[in-house]
Amino acid sequence: MKKKLLALVSAAVLGTGAVSFSTSSYAGTGSVRLAFTSGGFIVGGGGGRGVLTFRGHHYPFTVSGMSFGLTIGLSTMELVGRARNLHSPRDLVGTYSAIGAGAALAGGAGGVVLQNARGVVLELRGMKVGLQLSAAVGGVTITMP
């Protein structure tokens, strides 16, 4: 009798564990496309618009940013990439920090990896058009309507 009760309790505990693992929240990856224009002298700023495609739906967002350090000129960037660790589209919203340096003279390619407080990682790459030199610490804020 005790062996049957122990086997039943063990099966119930193991079954509960299996259920909790199978229903855990799944973090997904979405694709991101955005256009961002920036410029300045010493203190730079910029903004743009983008679209997150996540689980078959499109979610528009706006981007604003500022950098402090050596920033001279004006450039426009067309970026594409991935947003990893998303549980919902709203996880994209927030402030992303990065330290970077780069230069573009009438065009250039580059990439950046950013992360927000919710753990969303943006991996972006693309082209920069214009005349801008930068070695700056900056932040980017994404908002959704």
What tens digit of pLDDT does each residue of 50-70 get? 999 999 999 999 999 866 555
CATH for 26-143, options being 3.40.50, 2.60.40, 2.40.128, 1.10.287: 2.40.128
Using alpha carbons, list the distances in angstroms from residue 101 to 48, 80, 96: 20, 19, 16
Measured CA to CA, the distance from residue 49 to residue 77 in angstroms comes to: 11
**pTM > 0.85:** no
pLDDT in the model for residue 105: 42
Contact 121, 85 (CB under 8 A): yes
Choose the weakest-confidence range: 70-79, 91-100, 115-124: 70-79
What tens digit of pLDDT does each residue of 25-40 get? 688 999 999 988 877 6
pLDDT in the model for residue 91: 97
Asked whether residue 23 carries a pLDDT value surpassing 80, the answer given is no
